[in-house]
Structure 1
Amino acid sequence: MESVYTQGIWVAETLQQQTKSLEQCWLVITHLGDPKAAFLLVFPFTYFLDKRAGVAVLWIAAISEWLNLVFKWMLFGERPFWWIGESHLYVSMPPRIHQFPSTCETGPGSPSGHAMVTAAVWWVVASSLGSFLYSRTRSVLISSAPFLLYVALLVAVGTSRIFILAHFPHQVIAGCITGFILGIVLSGRVPEGRPLLFYFSFSFSLLLSALMVNVGLQQIGIDLSWSIALAKKWCSHAEWIRLDTAPFSSLTRDCGALLGLGLAEYWKPNGWSLPWAPRALSLAFSSMGLYHVNRLPLPVQPQGLFYGLFFIKFVLVPQIVMVFVPGLVHLFTRKKKQD
């Protein structure tokens, strides 16, 4: 693997040198490709265009990120920003590269979670939009446009991850391929009309199975905190190490979002039926609500409290988008019509 890693460092160095003027663009793209964005940005936007597609986005985001966590525990992928120092190959001639606030993620690197979740989630958006365009125009050329944009998005997100030294190219490619397959497989298996017990059981099963994998690997002598230690050792700024990038943060996010989806469908089966103007208003208010929920500061000590509050935060996400905000918009727009 050493030759693969050295080639990856060369690619990252070339990208940083040749596209330095696009630095801010790459940083924005890497944030848009963050798995968290699938829950906070893609889900509400898609839901108010098409309810089933919105539920599919949330469902697939949670499953694909959970699988990504398990794959990372199994594959032990290095990350460029720490491998450079650990390899001792660049002592005499270090590469001309630098880190960014988004670089210092603490989980293993393979496969890329950004690429994998983006590929899975945006497949739902691209395929739904492509089907809609084809039903209206009967044009293969026009209906293929969303899929071309889908490929362009994957290339952009993958390139941004290499640029900031978060991943090697092969990790990005592996994430894109895995996410693409998951998007196709899971988009046809979206739970509809399931009881709350299903979501509760599924969320608990994901949490329990991930913990069992974690404990099992530790029992055979594998220290799963190895990547956290390396990230802290080689990150150029200690404040760039954040607990919300730790593996258990993604696990609690996924389980919380799935339980929240079940609660939302329990409180309001089939959601609120709104015309286009109230939907746009609901999207605007939901986005504002999610922005403030995401910004809520959480105590990092003790870590159990942090993960518990992080879980609750993402339980609230489907409630805000599917129940609270559209319910209030429905209430006020109905009163206005009656007046």
Structure 2
Amino acid sequence: MPQVVMLLLHLEGVSFIQWLQTTFSGFAELLLFLTRMGDPRHAFLVYFPLALVFSRSVGLRTLLVAIISEWTNLILKWMLHGERPFWWIKDPEIFEEGKAPHLDQYSLTCETGPGSPSGHCMVTAAVLWVVTSALVSDLSAAPSNSWKRNPIIRSAPWLIYSLILSAAGVSRLFIATHFPHQVLFGTAVGILIGYVFNRVQVQSFRPRMCVVLSAGLAVSAMGLYGILLHLFSVDPSWSIKKAMQWCANPEWVHLGTTPFFSVARDSGSSLGLAVALHSILPQPGTVRKGAHNSLNGSSSEGRTVGVSTVGFLLFLLSLTLSTEYWVLPKEPQELLYSLVFIKSAFLTVAVIGLVTGFSKLVQKKQKNW
């Protein structure tokens, strides 16, 4: 019975993807851009730095949720063994040769991990839940006569959040890298993770907690890999072979989409957070009231602070996004994943250090004013 249900979900999913590709064929570039923006790496390279600049607590929580949601996605992928549309239609046990439905492939189609749940939707839903909730809380805390308390204004962040998730989901379906049920499942789990971890005060963590988290993420992932491989005779890397076999262009298969790449990024970011908590951020019990905000200022200095913040944000995002162009050796893969681990740890420390330094500089200037 479960196999029949999955077969129906896959068949209906392929029909829906075909409809999307036919209906929105003229918007291919836009949808490719949307799927790029939904890539889990942007949780670390864009959303985390942006949130950290405006609120230390929200920024650190954004990083934690990005780590937890991406790791959870990996574990679920390995356990659920989900197919992807672009290779499922090539299965000779499903369709006879020459009778398989056609799906267009694009440069971002050939993901190498299992398909369920969608990592793009899951991580984006979790991370932006934290950011959106913080924004809504800020609007709700405004004086009763403020324009921020307008019901339409307060509901706008959630509307934008819903539109972003919808756009991310449609883009993943359009490029034939996910089935609809995988997108919906990933979105639901992401929202749950964002909701559960939204009240966690990361700044109160002891550095050793993050060291344990870093080691735990790596050990648990490798442990599950070994259990599946040796006890259940299931190769967790089966999906990589499928992607390489059925991708229309071998150059579209990237190691950055492999499961262990995510493990290295999550574990490295956790270690970087431990270093930052130990050497950069105030220790628990020493945080001054109001220090959770990276930037504070009166209206008289608002324009100067605003201009400085925009300039700093552009510099910071240029720095984080430029790390994606670092050329890392692809072989041996152990070296690649080790370098990803080191790069992720370094980047986390660098972002937190730069934002903390900028915040102190702004506060010092405000005192002089």
Question: What's the TM-score once normalised by structure 2's chain length?
Answer: 0.86
Find the aligned partners of 1:294 and 1:225 in 2 and give their Cα distance: 24
Look up the match of 1:249: 261
Alignment of 1:238-317 (within 5 A): 238-270=250-282, 274=295, 276-277=305-306, 278-317=308-347
Residue of structure 2 in register with 1:52 after alignment: 57
- Is 2:42 aligned against 1:15? no
Residue 130 of structure 1: CA displacement? 1.1
Moved more, 282-291 or 59-68: 282-291
Q: 1:332 offset after TM fit, Å? A: 10
- Listed as ranges, the matches of 1:121-140 within 5 Å are 121-136=127-142, 137-140=148-151
* Structure 1 residues 105-124: aligned runs within 5 Å: 105-124=111-130
Structure 1 contact 116–179 (Cα < 8 Å) conserved: yes
Q: Distance in 2 between matches of 1:332 and 1:169?
A: 47
Most deviating of 197-206 and 130-139: 130-139
The residue number in structure 1 matching 2:32 is: 27
CA distance in 1, matches of 2:116, 2:319: 33
Residues matched between the structures, number: 338
- Displacement of 1:62 in angstroms is 0.4
C-alpha separation in 1, matches of 2:150 and 2:361: 40
Matched, 1:5 2:5: no
The structural deviation recorded for 1:119 is 0.7
Contact 2:54 2:294 in 1 (8 A): no
Q: Which residue of 1 aligns with 2:171?
A: 160
Matches of 2:309 and 2:218 in 1, distance apart? 34
The aligned amino acid for 1:24 is E
2:55/2:294 contact within 8 Å kept: no
Quote the residue 1:92 is aligned against. 98
Query: Corresponding residue for 2:75?
Result: 70
Matched, 1:227 2:233: no
Could you list the runs of 5+ residues in structure 2 that have no partner in the other structure? 1-5, 143-147, 283-290, 297-304
Return the match for 2:205 from 194, 198, 223. Answer: 194
In 2, Cα distance between equivalents of 1:245 and 1:273: 33
Q: Is the 8 A contact 1:134 1:140 kept in 2?
A: no
Query: In structure 2, what is the Cα distance between the partners aligned to 1:334 and 1:151?
Result: 39
The reply to whether residue 182 of structure 1 matches residue 182 of structure 2 is: no
Cα deviation for residue 21 of structure 1 reads: 1.2
SS of the residue 1:85 aligns to: coil
Deviates more, 1:193-202 or 1:90-99: 90-99
1:52–1:273: structure 2 CA closer, same or farther, 3 Å change rule?
closer
SS of aligned partner of 2:202:
coil
Distance apart, 1:95 and its partner CA: 3.1
- The structure with the largest alpha-carbon Rg is 2
What RMSD in Å do the two structures reach over aligned CA positions? Answer: 2.2
| Structure 1 position 97, deviation (Å) | 2.6
Q: CA deviation at 1:216?
A: 0.8
Q: 2:86–2:103: 8 Å Cα contact kept in structure 1?
A: no
* Secondary structure in structure 1 of the residue aligned to 2:36: helix
Which string of whole-angstrom CA distances, capped at 9 and with x for unpartnered residues, describes residues 140-194 of structure 1? 3321111111111111101100000110000000001111111100111242232
- Cα shift readout 1:92-117 (whole Å, capped 9, x = no counterpart): 34434311111111110000001111
Identical counterparts, % of pairs: 39
Q: Which amino acid aligns with 1:318?
A: T
Letter in 2 for 1:145: A
Cα 1:117/1:332, change in 2 over 3 Å: closer
Partners in 2 of 1:283 and 1:250 — Cα distance?
A: 25
Alignment of 1:237 with 2:249, yes or no, is: yes
